């Protein structure tokens, strides 16, 4: 579910009066997503997405997210473009929440990506990295290696209730990655959550990238590692090297990985798997009572983590030698 805050038609009409976007014809809440409340808003000038930022999004990060979408759209990347109010402001308040309107992107997300989708995604990710290269703002990735121990502590010794031995596995992995996390790799703007539900396709071509609310400044190759995890494993937990090869070749067709990035890929992939294992574990253990949220399975990422621990060479992911 992704409507935590309700908006009445009268509230929305009053809100829209601050924009040059015609008059309201219809709107409804969007079921997908987990972080914020999203509405599809139709007016006499077209379709838009209204987002009400809920409590997990820090207010001080909103200018980064809004500025980034505007920057990337200005560089030709197909992503939501914030719509300014008549006052020139993008952020406003609605129903007691910070709120913004962005452009609607056509396309659908794919549930079972093919190698062709992975190639498209790899190209799109590299284009995002190049388009973000001259974005002036920075945002620290609070879900990188220094953020993982606090997440583990937040699981408060309950990991073994999810799977026997899980706490020990995470503790060992966390200590290993804290000791050996790569240093000095090329960094820039990363999406950091470019899962299949955040990429749209039209006729099997990538038509848009959404949900920039984990975007931050970090290693570009870490973003590649997040995508290998999210796009290239099968539902049975097996790594699909054909998809990995397609994603990496697509990426490298636009931005070549350096030797240092290639060498670091297995370690970055382990870190990315641990990051989603930990956030999913914390969410799994803390489902708010009565919430219509289906938490995502942390153990999917335990399997991925185990796979990466056995990899010591980026060629095992399908990277061209």
Ligand X SMILES: N[C@@H](CCOP(=O)(O)O)C(=O)O
Binding characters for ligand X, 11-40, by CB under 6 A (x = yes): ----------------------xxx-----
C-beta separation of 197 from 108 below 8 A: no
If one asks whether residue 38 binds ligand ADP (CB under 6 A), the answer comes out as: yes
Binding positions for ligand X, 247-286, rule CB under 6 A:
276, 279-280
Least distance from ligand ADP to the Cβ atom of residue 62, Å: 13
Binding characters for ligand ADP, 199-238, by CB under 6 A (x = yes): -----------xx-x-------------------------
Query: How many angstroms separate the CA atoms of 282 and 280, rounded?
Result: 5
Alpha helices in 156-236 (DSSP H): 166-180, 220-231
Query: E strand or H helix at 209, and its extent?
Result: strand 205-209
If one asks whether residue 49 binds ligand ADP (CB under 6 A), the answer comes out as: yes
If one asks whether residue 223 binds ligand X (CB under 6 A), the answer comes out as: no
Residues 6+ apart with CB under 8 A from 29: 2, 3, 6, 37, 38, 39
C-beta separation of 189 from 215 below 8 A: yes
Closer by beta carbon to ligand ADP, 29 or else 186: 29
If one asks whether residue 173 binds ligand X (CB under 6 A), the answer comes out as: no
Query: How many angstroms separate the CA atoms of 274 and 53, rounded?
Result: 26
Tokens of 278: 């930990």
Least distance from ligand X to the Cβ atom of residue 142, Å: 15
Residue nearest to ligand ADP (CB): 33
Least distance from ligand ADP to the Cβ atom of residue 38, Å: 4
Cβ neighbours around 157 below 10 Å, total:
9
- Can you spell out the DSSP letters for 276-320? HHHHHHHHHHTPPTT-------HHHHHHHHHHHHT--SGGGGT--
Q: Which does 195 bind (CB under 5 to 8 A by kind): ligand ADP, ligand X, none?
A: ligand X
Binding positions for ligand X, 182-221, rule CB under 6 A:
193, 195, 197-198, 211
Q: Which residues bind ligand X (CB under 6 A)?
A: 33-35, 193, 195, 197-198, 211, 276, 279-280, 296
């Amino acid at each position: 579910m992704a409507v935590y805050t309700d908006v009445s038609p009268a509230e929305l009409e009053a809100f829209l009066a601050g924009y040059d976007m015609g008059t309201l014809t219809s709107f409804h809440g969007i079921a997908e997503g987990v972080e914020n409340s999203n509405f599809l808003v139709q007016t006499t000038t077209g379709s838009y997405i209204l987002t009400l930022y809920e409590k997990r999004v820090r207010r001080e990060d909103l200018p980064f997210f809004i500025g980034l979408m505007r920057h990337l759209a200005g560089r030709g990347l197909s992503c939501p473009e914030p719509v300014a109010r008549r006052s020139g402001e993008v952020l406003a308040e609605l129903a007691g929440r910070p709120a913004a309107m962005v452009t609607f992107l056509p396309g659908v997300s794919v549930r079972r990506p093919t190698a062709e989708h992975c190639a498209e995604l790899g190209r799109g990710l590299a284009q995002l990295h190049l388009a973000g290269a001259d974005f002036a703002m920075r945002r620290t990735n609070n879900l990188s290696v220094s953020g993982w121990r606090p997440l583990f502590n937040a699981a408060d010794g309950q990991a073994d209730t999810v799977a026997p031995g899980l706490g020990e596995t995470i503790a060992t992995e966390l200590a290993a990655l804290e000791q050996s996390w790569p240093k000095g790799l090329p960094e820039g703007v990363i999406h950091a959550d470019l899962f299949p539900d955040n990429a749209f396709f039209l006729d099997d071509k990538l038509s848009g990238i959404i949900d920039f609310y984990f975007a931050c400044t970090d290693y570009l190759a870490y973003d590649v590692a997040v995508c290998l995890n999210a796009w290239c494993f099968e539902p049975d937990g097996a790594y699909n090297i054909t998809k990995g090869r397609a994603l990496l070749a697509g990426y490298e067709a636009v931005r070549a990985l350096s030797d240092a990035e290639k060498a670091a890929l297995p370690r970055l992939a382990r870190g990315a798997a641990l990051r989603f294992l930990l956030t999913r574990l914390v969410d799994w253990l803390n489902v708010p009572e009565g919430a219509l949220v289906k938490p995502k399975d942390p153990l999917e990422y335990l399997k991925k983590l185990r796979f990466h621990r056995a990899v010591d060479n980026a060629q095992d992911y399908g990277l061209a030698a």
